[in-house]
Amino acid sequence: MWTRMLQGGIAFPPGTPLPGVRSKVSEACNRTLSIPVLAHKRNRGYIYRKCKNRVLNSKCAGEEKRVGTRTVFVGHRPVSETDAYIEQKFCDNRIVSSKYTVWNFLPKNLFEQFRRIANFYFLIIFLVQVIVDTPTSPITSGLPLFFVIIVTAIKQGYEDWLRHRADKEVNKSSVFIVENAKQVKKHSEKIKVGDIVEVKADETFPCDLIFLASSNDDGICYVTTASLDGESNFKTHYAVRDTIGLRTDDDIDSLTATIECEQPQSDLYKFVGRINIYRSNQEPVARSLGPESLLLKGSTLKNTKKIYGVAVYTGMETKMALNYQGKSQKRSAVEKSINAFLMVYLCILVSKATVCTTLKYVWQSNPFNDEPWYNQKTKKERDAFKILRMFTDFLSFMVLFNFIIPVSMYVTVEMQKFLGSFFIAWDKEMYDEEIQEGALVNTSDLNEELGQVEYVFTDKTGTLTENSMKFIECCIDGHKYSGGMSEVDGFSHTDGPMTYYGKALKCREELFLRALCLCHTVQIKEGDNVDGLIVNQECSTYISSSPDEIALVKGAKKYGFTFLGHENDFMKVQNQKNEIEKYQLLHVLNFDPVRRRMSVIVKTSAGKFLLFCKGADSSVFPRVQQDEIQQTKVHVERNAMDGYRTLCVAFKELTQEDYKKIDGQLSEAKMALQDREEKMARIFDDIETDMHLIGATAVEDRSWTVSQEYGLIVDGSTLSLILNPSQDSSSSNYKSIFLQICLKCAAVLCCRMAPLQKAQIVKMVKNTKGNPITLSVGDGANDVSMILEAHVGIGIKGKEGRQAARNSDYAVPRFKHLRKLLLGHGHLYYVRIAHLVQYFFYKNLCFILPQFLYQFFCGFSQQPLYDAAYLTMYNICFTSLPILAYSLLEQHINIETLTSDPRLYMKISDNAMLQWKPFLYWTFLGTFEGLVFFFGVYFLFQNSSLEDNGKVFGNWTFGTIVFTILVFTVTLKLALDTRFWTWMNHFVIWGSLAFYVFFSFFWGGIIWPFLKQQRMYFIFAHMVTSISAWLAIVLLIFISLFPEILLVVFKNAKRKNHQTVPFNLPMLLSYKPMENGYISEMKIKDAVTNLTHHHHLRVPQMQQL
């Protein structure tokens, strides 16, 4: 087949040194090196052992220097019995995706958890309580800490157990290895590099294999890679011509060959290698190997009975395993705010401890206060070093007030993010019936970041459009030919009559249509249904990874030239006279996003050598005769303005001498193991010059969007000058000027960009002043770089595979789903988690402030206000579930309203709810309520007799009344904030209050044998028998919540009186804040219209919400 020619298969004549090939050494070379050899054969791969102090990597003359390559011996057979080998070590075929083992789980997990500052802080506090005589039991800080550690460890352990189970299922699957001309059944994990593996139809490849032979006579097999990149269409792979006849176990076992290839790397679409085949009494033959020869682990064999392949990468060195290793961690703005607030509260904690320590020694400066008659000091206490005593007291106060730091907030935030991600995945409105899939959450750490996006960068093709191609028209030598031909995932149908606008010369028409029939990578699958593709009337289907290539081939068919497929090394075309023309395919110069064009070199039956090229106008026009451009350029620009994808077609005729030179250069470059792609690119660049322009095509990619209006348009070549300026001072400011212009525009359209340029644009905006939150959307592999660069990456489950979806933080079936994901889910999750964070700091301030004030009334003796059980359970049991339910279910505004009004999204932008102003408001609120709790009960206790029998209440009753008011107030505060009530909210809010009351009765109703002091015995029961205590509790709760109640009433009254003006805003357009409100239309809308489809390459569109 033609691709075997493409692989650069070249047989060297006897005596020719093999460049870079470690092979059976020729006799002449052996004589030169004088290598004595020892036979050493084992069932592994081998490398050469150079004896007599020879260097291991000594080379024959002409062998290039190689770095980072491996040599694999096919079937573990030595090249000859006279060579010496040592066993070469490769990793086994076990897949290990798990993070822990039984032995390292405990130490490794604890180490990772205590790397978190809050956990480490509470560990230190716990150790201080254990070592130093502190006022509270170590249980008060130890139990919440251990609860957080245990819950997190269980969650991570369970997730890792699932990974272990999945690994075992893969590693224990059965495979067949060919050994001594027999098939041996083994577990997948037993495969070693060099093993020859047989894979049958519909089986998954167990490791990365070099394709040797198949059941098909032509050495072809079909593969799907849906589990790797999501592409369900068939990919065609080819064996080298020298091994395609080895279709039985006996034949394949007779093969003596070595494979040299690059070391493992993660790129699914790149592979560089060569196979050296040895035959008796013949010089070895070297053939180049490329991606079309590599069968990847995880892909599936289709429509082929069986194949033989040799393992080159196994286990964790397979491309699949390398691709699933972790991405860099992204942190949300909320996490940064939490850390900032934590530092503030840590300063408050240190300040409280410092104040109390200082005032304690001021208080004790009076001898009566320092050593009252009823509490005389021991000799040890009198002799203690004063500085040491002060430091110990400081630590004791730190322990007493340490609950102001909300350690349980971290586990609550983690649970909120984890559980909240399921609501996104379960959203039925983001479920697509066509692909039977919904939204996918790859990371739950950024849910709230979806509500903070300021700039959206989006790919065009397949993202803003359907990637559903329809052939519209073409021009030949400036003459327009209009007709309809649509292409959706490989199925084609005629769509209307042809229309001609003038005519080019007949020979030029035929040349153009032959170019369309020959310059492509389309394959034909005969008489079968290919993974959902619809079979045409001739029982054959065009297969290609690019729908627009099929649309062009079918467009040529519309005008009478039909591509009939490949036959060995020839491409067959049926012309307008129904004659079959055959062209020998000599070389394919593959498309890449840098060149933005592809070419083929063919040989006609008359012996002529022709080069056909198609590509973007910006990459083709500079390489053709300049006097031929203008007549075609007019049509290209008009088609581009109409939103069509345009391609220019060119050709040139090569002489016999030209082709021999080109063939030699390509063959040499294809044999290189190092820098093969760079060498090929330079040769391609030299070949594709001095061409003649024939015409251009226009293909429509249907759009999913309604409005396509843009403010600034810039192309890739201009961006190169801007982003990579020269050294002179005048060009160094281009980037800054360009950025300023972009930020003032409503939207920016960047055309014809390379993947790296997409990432550069994202990075440029991301690093501007204020560090705005960026979001990138794309559906193809060329969008991965910008998806990873942005704060939030969204993958579209489109028709170009799932590379973008796999590398994204979130994936959705359609671009339209971005509306609800951002304006709905993003808005709500940000509001929820912002409220959660502020609420946690607020309720802990309410909790600890009375404890601080109490020290002024107990001589700074570090006497706790609350019982140890209350200290322990406040954050774990009494107040945790209501805020968790709120953070998952709250909808302060109806989700339909949120998605219809982008201005609501603007109100929470720039992390509005976690700025210092709302933080200070919550801090003031906590301070106010803490003062009310303490002094309200303090004034109540001015009358020490609160019972009819004259019995007085003690300090534990005082603390219990304060704690009861505290629990009810912070819980009812959350109830006041709740706008969307469900049965779950009712259950956790009222249930938590009921549980507190029940626990207090239970805790104080029993004499616990493990407690030294029964200080809480019957305290709560006695308290609730007092009418005064009841009145105080109700009154103080009301006073604490009164400002909040007033605020709610005021907001409701304002909302009723506010007249909202109806508006209709297009989805996800730019609404930049202006002096007179918001703009909903572009000032320059008349300059350019319908530019969403502007060019055939991917286009990131930058929009500021």
Instruction: Cite the active site residues.
Output: 459
d(CA 626, CA 882): 73
Residue 583: which of 574, 600, 571, 575 has the closest Cα? 571
Please return the burial class of 892, using the count of CB atoms within 10 Å of its CB with bins 0-12, 13-18 and 19+. middle
- Using CA atoms, how far residue 36 sits from 58, 85, 879, in Å, is 14, 12, 81
DSSP class of residue 595? T
The residues, any chain, with a CB within 8 Å of residue 205's CB and separated by 6 or more, are 199, 295, 296, 297, 298, 299, 300, 301, 309
d(CA 234, CA 222): 6
Residue 784: which of 800, 803, 802 has the closest Cα? 803
Residue 959: which of 857, 1042, 1048, 1058 has the closest Cα? 857
Estimate the crossing angle of helix 105-113 against helix 138-171, to 10 degrees: 130
Please say whether the beta carbons of 315 and 95 come within 8 A. yes
Task: Please calculate the CA angle 654-657-659 and round it to the nearest 5 degrees.
Answer: 50
d(CA 886, CA 750): 42
| C-beta neighbour count of 103 within 10 angstroms | 8
Per residue, the 3-state secondary structure of 700-755, as one string, reads: EEEECCCCCCCCEEEEHHHHHHHHCCCCCHHHHCHHHHHHHHHHHCCEEEEECCCH
Please say whether the beta carbons of 985 and 885 come within 8 A. yes
Please say whether the beta carbons of 237 and 211 come within 8 A. yes
- Using CA atoms, how far residue 507 sits from 160, 270, 513, 575, 1021, in Å, is 67, 39, 10, 12, 105
Q: Two tokens at 1042?
A: 């009164």
| C-beta neighbour count of 728 within 10 angstroms | 7
Strand 810-812 to strand 792-796: parallel, antiparallel, or no bridges (unpaired)? Answer: parallel
DSSP letters for 91-149? --S-----S--TTTHHHHHHHHHTTSHHHHHHHHHHHHHHHS--SS-HHHHHHHHHHHH
